[in-house]
Amino acid sequence: MQAHLPEPSPDALAASNKLQNLIVEEIRRQDGWISFARYMELALYAPDLGYYSGGAVKLGKDGDFTTAPEMTSLFGETIAHAADDLMRQSDAHILEFGAGTGKLAADILTECAAAGITVERYSIVEVSAELRARQQQTLAEFPQVTWLDAFPPAFSGVVVGNEVLDAMPVSLVVKRDGQWLERGVIWNGSCFDYEDRPCSQDMVEQIPDADTLQEGYLTEVHPVAVGFMATLASMLTAGYEQNGKGGAAILFDYGFPNTEFYLNQRHQGTLMCHYRHHSHPDPFYLPGLQDITAHVDFTAMAYAAVRNGLEMLGYMSQAGFLMSAGIADRLLQTSPEDAQRYLPKANAVQKLTSPAEMGELFKVLVVGKEVTLPDCFDRADQSRRL
């Protein structure tokens, strides 16, 4: 597998080796074993060296993968109109978590300005200094944009997150001899390897019917993402309690409800790595130079939000959300007779909404406090599947 992947530059390889040494030292300090979640956290977020905190280009044709905002401005334009309906019930504030290059924010704000939609403040929570610098360049003409290091204690308005949950560290658990074990990472003297240790029962409570799954079943659980949803709920609840105005969060990501996540045929989990537009399953390859992700258990995310005081507003495919929010109308603002401009936009919409592309694999979870989704989303809603 590795023989078919592009070679890193000498500088990139040196940075990866430096991160590898940092992780090895962490393992030694922890008596020879760290959880996979800790390994993933360091590989992605170690200061200056992790995938999201280092200096390598992550997105677009020169990066490792392409996200929806990079494909077409119609994605952000459509979200702008969905956010407008929700901001009318709360505050004219948008908070984006993990804004990538800043293109989604730029597209949303550009469309809001063109459509007369008021956005008094657009805040971005960004943990990557490199991405924050790129965002500041992209968004220099929008004075209402501010950057935060963490969620504010209270917020009223609309929270947007595109491919945020899948980038959060996951724990790995495996079933051996009828017992669930946590899979961790060791250093065997020449490379990283796995070692399984007993885990607490609460680690597998996310898995429905865990006792009936087959021997050797390996999967991910999502305590960090569940904690993120709890923090999100606390923030929106505090916003409502402070000023009587609620808010909502719109979260785009790939994943399944738990009845589809933990199937027998998915017995090796969903963990995947992305390096220079190549996908492969080895999280130990070139740490710091590749993305490591896992599909999202949307049932766990929704339950975490509701347990902490939010309401379920909607769960649907990305295609269902975008079509309900009017992406086809946005597309038709460019005349089909203008083939040079229309066809690239139409091809991008096809990728975003086709069941064979991103339309069904990507889902949208909408949770909130004292706001409702417009009726136009009712037909697309699949909350019953959670």
Mean pLDDT of 50-60: 67
Predicted pLDDT at 59: 44
Out of 64-68, 90-94, 126-130, 198-202, the most confident range is 90-94
Predicted pLDDT at 3: 52
Predicted pLDDT at 337: 95
User: pLDDT band for position 293 (50/70/90)?
Assistant: very high
Predicted pLDDT at 41: 97
Predicted pLDDT at 124: 98
Residue range 168-214, pLDDT digits in tens: 999 999 999 999 999 999 999 999 999 999 998 888 888 988 999 99
Q: Answer for the pair 278, 65: CB distance below 8 angstroms, yes or no.
A: no
User: pLDDT band for position 138 (50/70/90)?
Assistant: very high
Contacts of 166 (CB under 8 A, 6+ apart): 253, 254, 255, 293, 294, 295, 296
Predicted pLDDT at 56: 56
Q: How far is CA 125 from CA 32, 93, 106, 136, 145, in A?
A: 34, 14, 15, 12, 11
Q: Would you say residue 62 has pLDDT above 90?
A: no
| Beta strands 247-256; 218-221: pairing state | unpaired
Residue range 322-334, pLDDT digits in tens: 999 999 999 999 9
User: pLDDT band for position 161 (50/70/90)?
Assistant: very high
Question: What rounded mean pLDDT belongs to the chain?
Answer: 94
Return the percentage of the chain with pLDDT > 90, whole number: 87
219: nearest Cα among 273, 267, 285:
267
Residue range 95-111, pLDDT digits in tens: 999 898 999 999 999 99
Return the percentage of the chain with pLDDT > 70, whole number: 96
The runs of H, that is alpha helices, within the chain are 10-29, 36-45, 68-71, 73-87, 103-115, 129-138, 223-243, 258-261, 298-307, 318-324, 327-331, 339-353
Longest CA–CA span in the chain (Å) reads 67
Residue bearing tokens 């109109």: 81
Mean pLDDT of 46-67: 69
- Provide the whole-model pTM: 0.94
Q: Answer for the pair 186, 35: CB distance below 8 angstroms, yes or no.
A: no
Residue range 245-291, pLDDT digits in tens: 999 999 999 999 999 999 999 999 999 999 887 889 999 999 999 99
Q: Answer for the pair 37, 182: CB distance below 8 angstroms, yes or no.
A: no
